[in-house]
Chain A
């Protein structure tokens, strides 16, 4: 770990201002990801801005029947919130599918949004990685890439976003609220929050330098069966090989009347294809939906299995939703 300065500002705006003034500053909340990265010198911030004492740990109802989740709400607390069971089961299930009990007790909502990839080569400073060191190359291509992306990847990077929470946030059409150094707040739809790697895999979100996440807002509850199906290599404390967040209502003739689907483990961001949802409602066929989801999919060797696994998992998830 490199030496760094430590600050603990009193207000949200102070935090954002500090972050924009100090070169190479990082916010720290739960630290469940950042501290590991710092020990390995994958992240080498000059300043850590501790936001843990900022008043951002509230969960409150919004006027339109939605839910506003403070940036510092811990994953465990959010999963246990009564409205997760009542109205946002897909999110509650996704949260509980992630990490371990210990990590969920520390990990925060905003921190989880910013969780970095688990690509093995990103974690190994002795290997090329365009995300860690732009221009150095991508060792995952041509290497062991079981956990890597099959959708939306580029020649520069095939990493995935490892978060379960993000997948549920995407299917719920959540909105990320931020504040910048000038005290200006901004609302970023989940669809636009995470980016594809392209030529700049080191830029993972649409946040501007110094911008601080203050909350995530969920729209009013979406009717339907909420499911989060995570396919994994170990029953706990393993990232998804493929995951599906689904909100489906049953219609006539065993076909869904409505469907919202988002996928984890496949891409650099939670993957959602609205045309696939339409295809599912129209045809009633999960495979028809998968065709749309997997348009342009390609494997890199050890992750080839994710493509058929996505089809299988969606088939099973849709069937389960219609069975309930």
Chain B
């Protein structure tokens, strides 16, 4: 099915159906009882060797000499791969780089060797014996210093710049102006499961084949990239990823450990297993770039925006062009006649920057939604009211209608539930030692649909097998697929066998960019619809008014059991979804509104979140429980982004200083008090056949800005440099009190 028109009425529209119910994860029991093997735990291949990545300890320069003699002689060592003996590789594809290419060092943590031994411990011990002698160059690792020379990047799906009307003229003429710079730091995905791969390279009669059990979000994309880099036919590369312990974008593409394990397996003719250590995750795997964002807003006296400019700078590793699309969301969020968005990129000697949960929007809205708060303050307008006054009637840049847009409803519902009307004046609310403040922010995230395929087979025993190369990264994909198939076929979830996470199955979108559930679920919907047609044809039942329920199909006064129709062989059907005209004809986003109340310690500047509410719309909610969990997770990401998350760059060495989870802080339970997420009813018949929209990312968008705005409301200190650590609050107080600035 190509999504060329609104879907119309579907079997999923039935009241009280399976889809949407808050059922427990069907894989939950396996996971909590340790029977869901993650990549590193797979025991399907006998006698694996263990690899350990050796990282560059400089960010720029060349390897003069790599001494691997001691490592090769160490107990249990089977192989030390370096630039001298690495098998030939192809060109980089997307962000999958060929490994161990030459002696050039471009970033700290770049793999320079891969040590393989009989045990993990032996490999790690031997890896420490590899000694590199470098010719060290001074790295360029400061985005601030590189900003003046940043360049226009190559477009990634959307153009880097946009321009409408006459921004300069309108801004100059605006009676109310805001001109501010915000910064966001490097952030780390910090997913629970590290990157891990078990690789097996085999040479058979039909050529070379590679099987990778690996932690990966988008298997078909990974298959294509690795095939190019490893010079294999794509059909001879198989990725298997049944269970994944979080990805948040860090597993969108195979990371160096997967490529290295494959190459080592090729050299050794033996399965090779590898996992990154938590410390290695910071440099060997990807991160979200820091950003500098310049925002200018011009408004009339009533708070109607006349001019919007959002410019963003981010960094990429040398030889890569990934940029943080911070300003993309600004193109569709608020009305204004005159507007500019712009992205610039600096190539720095930093590890590979890539997508992290809501790439672009997450940090874009950290900045922009605070700027809106600043503008509201200037205008003496309620921040909700300011946003309502700038609600566009159609997409302000694409000039097409929104498929659905309930941003205002989200804000109103949230304000009412949260008690927003009780928000005090700046610095006016006190509870003991705590200065108390409330803040809000809007949330928006693009809703994409990706090509995806599925197969379903009705088995003779009346169960249904669903197959696709989809992944479940902890979001609940197994469960919602079972719900969709169950509802379509009139079967309980216990009768649905969801088999995903394997490129041997039909090509699927994978998990990323909030497109997973909608794309894979739609392919499954189409497959089930085709199976329904096949069953109706076979049974001779009148398709008009046919109902699939309780393991039977009924039409008129006839009813057949699915087990009878399945026959001895079962019946299979396939389905496919592709984006179509709806993508261009309508502007599609998920929306939400965040409300946060914080306390700021009047003595120490410590910030503690007191409560938080998110109200979201994402079309049809496929499972209220897993959706809510995902929304809460995004909000907690926002808490981290606002208050603590920052990988600090030491520009002398070009490395992330605090590269472990003791010192790279993500929120602990004690940082997360009563928070809640609710969904407003919505169906989006232009988005996909399920009428759902993406939910994985909208909840992080704007979340941190709500906290930052609450901190301002509590203290009168506007911090434009994330995260909002206590020292910045103290600086703000010092400035207010007329003390000299201590920080430089």
Contacts and interface: CB of A to CB of B under 8 A. Distances in A.
A120 B731 CA distance: 24
A67 B663 CA distance: 34
Nearest to B609: A235
Interface string A233-268: 111111101000000000000000000000000000
A118 B662 contact: yes
Interface in A33-75: 39-41
B279 A40 contact: yes
B126 to A, nearest CB: 10
Interface stretch (B153-161, B382-390, B667-675): B667-675
A40 B279 CA distance: 9
Interface in B702-744: 725-727, 730-731, 734, 742-744
Given A234-B671, A236-B668, A118 B663 contact: yes
Interface stretch (A16-24, A80-88, A185-193, A303-311): A303-311
- Looking at chain B's contact residues, is the secondary structure mostly helix, strand, loop, or mixed? loop
B726 A120 contact: no
A236 B125 contact: no
Interface string B64-95: 00000000000100000000000000000000
Nearest to B658: A120
Interface in B301-336: none
Contacts of B57: 126
B604 A309 contact: yes
Interface string A73-107: 00000000000000000000000000010000000
B603 A315 contact: yes
Contacts of B644: 233-234
B141 to A, nearest CB: 12
B730 A1 contact: no
Contacts of A292: none
A300 interface: no
B653 interface: yes
Contact of B671 (A139, A235, A313, A315): A235
Contact of A313 (B121, B603, B648): B603
Interface residues of A, number: 41
Interface string B123-135: 0110010000000
Contacts of A139: 650, 652-653
A1 B75 CA distance: 13
Contacts of A234: 643-644, 665, 667-668, 670-671
Nearest to B650: A143
Contacts of A2: 125, 128
B669 A312 contact: no
Contacts of A124: 655, 657, 659
Nearest to B723: A233
Contacts of A118: 662-663
The 8 closest A-B pairs by CB, nearest first: A126-B57, A235-B670, A305-B727, A316-B603, A236-B670, A236-B668, A144-B657, A144-B648
Interface of A: 1-3, 39-41, 100, 118, 120-121, 123-124, 126-127, 139, 142-144, 146-147, 231-239, 241, 299, 301-302, 304-305, 308-309, 312-313, 315-316
6 contacts: A142-B652, A231-B726, A233-B665, A234-B643, A235-B608, A313-B604
Interface of B: 57, 75, 121, 124-125, 128, 277, 279, 433, 601, 603-606, 608, 643-644, 648-650, 652-653, 655, 657-660, 662-663, 665, 667-671, 725-727, 730-731, 734, 742-744
Given A234-B670, A305-B730, 15 more contacts: A118-B662, A127-B653, A139-B650, A139-B652, A143-B652, A231-B604, A233-B644, A233-B726, A235-B608, A235-B668, A236-B669, A237-B662, A239-B662, A309-B605, A312-B605
